[in-house]
Structures are given as C-alpha cells and as structure tokens.
Amino acid sequence: MVIGIVLMVVFALALVISVTLLSLRIRKLAISKVLEAYNFKKELTFALSCIGIAGISFMLFFVGVVIYNAWIMTGFEWFAIIFGGFFTPVFIITLFCIFRLHYWQKLLPKKLDTILYWIMISCIPLIVLFIWLFSEGMAMHLIYPLPNGLRFDPFGLVSIQTGHPNIAWYALCILSGAIYVYFICDHFMFQKYGKHGLVESTFFIAFPAGIIGARIAYVIGNWNVEFAGREWWKPFAIWEGGLTILGGAIVGIIVGCLWFKWRHKDLSLGESINIIVPTILIAQAVGRWGNFFNCEVHGFQASEQYFMWLPTFIREQAKYSSESGMADPGNIFVPLFLIEGIVNILGYYVLAFVFGRGLKKYVKPYDLAFGYVTWYGLTRTFMEPLRDPAYNMGSDGGWSWYWSIVFIGVGLLAIIVNHIIWHFVNEKKEKNIVITSENKKDYLKKSYLALAITSVVSLAFFISGMCLFFIYDMPSDIESVIALVPHNFGVIFLVIGSFTLPSIALPIICLIKGYKIKETNNA
C-alpha cells in the first residue's frame, strides 16, 4: 500500500511538471516572430523528452493505483494499463503541441507545417484507441455504479446509491463541455478576425443564461409531475437536478446573440453565430456524460450481446438505472447518452464543415445557427421515444418530443426566410446588373429547377405525412404517445412538409424577376 501511495504522489508530480514545462516551451515557440533563433533539433529533443516522461509518469501513477488497491491483474489487464497508460497521454500532448504550432505559428515552413498537420489528425483516432485500451485494464476492478460526485461531509466519493454529492460529475461534465467549446469558438474567431478573446464576455453571459433557461424549461415541462403543490422554493432547487437542454439552448443563444451584438458592433453577428452556435452540439455531447455517471436518461433494456463492441466500463455502468435499479441478467440499459453524443458530434461536422466550408457559397449568415436548431430538433425527436419513459417530461411524457418537433419546423422556416431576405438584399445591391438573353434563359432554367426540387421535396413530406397521420391511429396507451409509430412519423413529416413549403417562394420570386428583365444583346 505504501509503495502504491509513493508511486502515485511521485509520478503525479512528474506528470504535472513535465506537461507544464512543455506547455510553456511550446507557447513561447508558437508566438515567436523569429524562428531562426531556435535550434529545432534541440526543441524536438526537449519536447520528446517531456512527452515521454509524461507518458511514463501517467502509466506508473496507475500502476501505483493497482498496487494500492491490491488488485489481482490478468496479463491482458497489465498490458492495457502499461501500453494504454503510456500512449494515451503521449498522443493527447502531441495533439495539443502540434495544434498550438499549426494554428499559432505562421512562420513554419510549409512542408513542415503540412507534416505536423497530418500527424495532428492521426493523433485523434489513436487517442480514442488507447483510451479504450487503457479503460479495459481498469474496468473489471471498479465498483459499479461508478461515483457520480464528491461529498464533503463525510468526505469521499459517492454514487447514486450512497447519497447526494456536493460536487456532481454531472455539473462538471456540463462545465467541461462549455469550456471546451469556448476554446473552439475562440480559435475559429481568431482565424476569422485575427484576435483572441472575442467571445469571452459572451461566454460568461450566455452560459449561465443557458443554465437558467434549462431550469425554467424543466420546471414548466414537469410542473404537474414534480412541482405542483410542493414548497414554493422547489423550482429554484437546481442542486436537486432537473435541466432540459432544449430550453437552455434557446435562452443561451438568444441572450448570447444580444450580448455579442452589443459588445461587438463592428463584427458581423450572422457570420459570428455561424461559427459559435453549431459548437453547442459539442458541448452537449460532452455534457451527456453527466447522464452516464448519474445512470439516467437511457433507453429500454436490451441484450448485452448487442453492445459488446462498447468499452467494458460503459456496459457495466449501463446495467444500473437510477429509476429502475439493476437490469435483468444478461441485459443492459441502452446507453442513449453515447448515441446522442455521437449524433451531436456528427451534426457539428455536418454543419461546420459540410455546409460551412464545402457548401460555403450557398450558406448565408445565420444559416448554421438555424441549422443547429433543426439538427438538434431532429435528434431529440427520434431519441425521445427510445428513452425509458421514467425520464420523459410532462404529464403524458411528450413535452420534450413536442418541442423537438417545433425546433425542426422553426429551424427550417428560419433558414428559408433567411435566404429570401438575403435574396432581396443582394437584389438591391445588384439592381444595375444587365442580363443578356443567354444569361436570362440560364437564369430561368435554374429557377424552374429550384422550384421543381423544393416543390417535390416539401409536397412529398406533406402528402406522406397526411397519409401516415390519418391512416394510422394514435397509440392509446400513454407510454406510446411519442413512440416511433406511423401516426407519429406522420406528425414529423407534416411539420417538415408544412414548414418547408414556403421554400417555393424563392424560386417563384426569381422567375418573376427573370421574366421582368428585358433582354439585351452584348453588341
């Protein structure tokens, strides 16, 4: 036991010192304007030494944990702790260092910068792989359900079975996601405007506003179930749990936009929130790990054999529910937190990179913010019916589902209206442009094509929604009110069809404009 404590203390200090020294050295190099003054071979040797010490220290720290707890380890578990424990910090620190150099130091030779960039990208899957390997070495020696927080009196870790924490991992997950997203936003705003700190004050205003909005939405949605007839102060008892992201996202976005516009009148609000708002999906993906530690907001029971591809610690944790207790032997509760987190991360890359970069010429200011509303509405619309009904909100369990559908409709309509507005703005700017006879035909052809596509898509959703809505009856039992049945698919399709139908207005406007333009020749 003593040896274990000594190993943990010594190598925890070694880890902190090596990472701190390397971070300071990389920061100095990243902001330097005279790279010729540096001996790159010496700098590389120093960096590799610090990274190696950090990897060894992290690994030996957990060897100390094993010795302290007197765990009996298998050969594979030792392999997982040694190799996973060494390479996990190695690739995380390498990613951090190269990120700083690639994005901050503009004087690097192009060939070297390209090599560093691809090393950085390669680190991401390697980090996931070695974290997974490392977790396998520890997983079967942990006590489940895992601690969900820290209590001060008496001091120690607590789980949902042993008491309420003073510091909950749920809160730390939400805060970690928000801080991580702040740095993402700061990085991309720096790339666009060449200055750090542009979103700092917005973060300190929008984040607490989002928490307040999330609490208000939860109290409203669960009033009859949880708050009606109770003490007046219960709605304010946020430490007892109860937040809904749907309300938090909207309030946080609105307050953040108003504050940002007030603070930065010289910057484009539309282009800025196209950068900032989609990153909320990343924060939500990180925050969902709070549900993992709380053993909540999961799906129904399913056979564990279908989830053997998951890390062991996730499967073991998913065998317990804060509402229903232990799952039946051989079963786990479907980890919806992980599924929603993956969908959120996918949504961020679709919005920020597929649309934000790949289809940049078609994207207008504010589009990606409205795209976030649409994507998250779709995500929750299909996730809510998969939840254990104990975690659904409202008297009939459908409160969040209804609002998710509203998100879809409002997001789609906002994108359409945004494009119509920008069309008139551009038309006003380009009113003196002369269109030749050949260009006019091409213009009308594209307008007819756009009209056909938008009409077919919106009418297809609307008609199929009408058919599903009226042909199939609404489920009678209360637990299936939001089930993924034909009737409810009809509701979803009707909303999408109804709110995308106005999209035909833009090609119609273009057609009217095209026929009004007098043909001229280039002579």
Q: How confident is the model at residue 22 (pLDDT cuts 50, 70, 90)?
A: very high
Contact call for residues 310 and 335 (beta carbons, < 8 A): yes
Beta carbons of 260 and 354 less than 8 angstroms apart = no
CA distances from 359 to 354, 442, 448 (A): 6, 21, 21
Average predicted confidence (pLDDT) for the chain: 88
User: What are the residues whose beta carbons fall under 8 Å from the beta carbon of 437, sequence distance 6 or more?
Assistant: 519, 520, 521
Whether the link from the prior residue into 311 is cis, omega within 30° of 0, is no
Q: Do the beta carbons of residue 144 and residue 316 sit within 8 Å?
A: yes
Only one residue has tokens 């213009």, namely: 443
Identify the band that residue 517 occupies on the pLDDT scale cut at 50, 70 and 90. Answer: low
**Residue whose pair of structure tokens reads 């795209």 in the numeric block:** 371
Q: What is the pLDDT of residues 448-460, one digit of tens each?
A: 888 898 899 999 9
Question: What SS3 string covers 31-100?
Answer: HCCCHHHCCHHHHHHHHHHHHHHHHHHHHHHHHHHHHHHCCCCCHHHHHHHHHHHHHHHHHHHHHHHHHH
- Reported for 355-358, long-range contacts at CB under 8 A and 24+ positions apart, including other chains, are 356/274, 356/278
Average pLDDT over residues 196-208: 92
Mean pLDDT across 148-170? 85
Residues 258-267: tens digit of each pLDDT = 999 999 988 9
Cα separation of 17 and 403, whole Å?
49
- 520 vs 468: which has the higher pLDDT: 468
- pLDDT of 522 over the 80 cut: no
pLDDT tier at 85, thresholds 50, 70, 90: very high
pLDDT at position 23: 93
d(CA 233, CA 154): 26
Could you tell me the two tokens for 167? 């510091």
Residue 156 is predicted with a pLDDT of 84
Q: Predicted confidence band at 139 (pLDDT cuts at 50, 70, 90)?
A: very high
- Which pLDDT does position 523 carry in this prediction? 42
* Higher pLDDT among residues 509 and 203, named by residue: 203
Task: State yes or no: pLDDT of 160 exceeds 80.
Answer: yes
Nearest to 278 by CA among 196, 184, 213, 195: 184
Q: Encode pLDDT of 258-302 as tens digits.
A: 999 999 988 999 999 999 999 999 999 999 999 999 999 899 999
Concatenating the DSSP letter of every residue in 421-489 gives HHHHHHHHHTTT---BHHHHHHHHHHHHHHHHHHHHHHHHHHHHHHHHHHHSPPPSSGGGTT-SSHHHH
Question: For residue 107, which of 30, 47, 192 has the smallest C-alpha distance?
Answer: 30
Three-state secondary structure along 129-195? Answer: HHHHHHHHHHHHHCCCCCCCEEEECCEEEECCCCCCCCEEHHHHHHHHHHHHHHHHHHHHHHHHHCC
Per-residue confidence at 194, pLDDT binned at 50, 70, 90? confident
Structural contact between residues 381 and 343, judged by C-beta atoms closer than 8 angstroms: no
Share of the chain above pLDDT 70, in %: 94
Q: Is 222 exposed, middle or buried (0-12, 13-18, 19+ CB in 10 A)?
A: buried
What Å distances lie between residue 16 and 131, 299, 488, CA to CA? Answer: 19, 39, 54
pLDDT of residue 288: 94
Task: Using the predicted structure, report yes or no on whether residue 199 has a pLDDT greater than 60.
Answer: yes
| Rounded mean pLDDT, 188-217 | 91
- Give the other-Cβ count within 10 Å of 145's Cβ: 22
Span 346-384, pLDDT tens digits: 999 999 999 998 888 889 999 999 999 999 999 999 999
Give the residue from 283, 258, 268 showing the smallest Cα distance to 376: 283
Which one, of 236, 232, 235, 185, lies nearest residue 207 by Cα? 185
The pLDDT score that the predictor gives to residue 406 is 93
> What is the total residue count of the chain?
523
> What pLDDT, on the 0 to 100 scale, is given for residue 427?
60
**Identity at 444, one-letter amino acid code:** L
Question: CA 497, 503, 507, 510: dihedral to nearest 10 degrees?
Answer: 160
H-helix segments, 194-234? 200-221
Alpha-carbon distance 289 to 172, whole Å? 10
**Average pLDDT for 188-205:** 90
**Residue-level pLDDT at 446:** 79
pLDDT at 153: 77
**How high is the pLDDT of residue 315?**
96
- Collapse the DSSP code of 325 into the 3-class scheme (helix H, G, I; strand E, B; otherwise coil) and give the result: strand
Residues 50, 22: contact at Cβ < 8 Å? yes
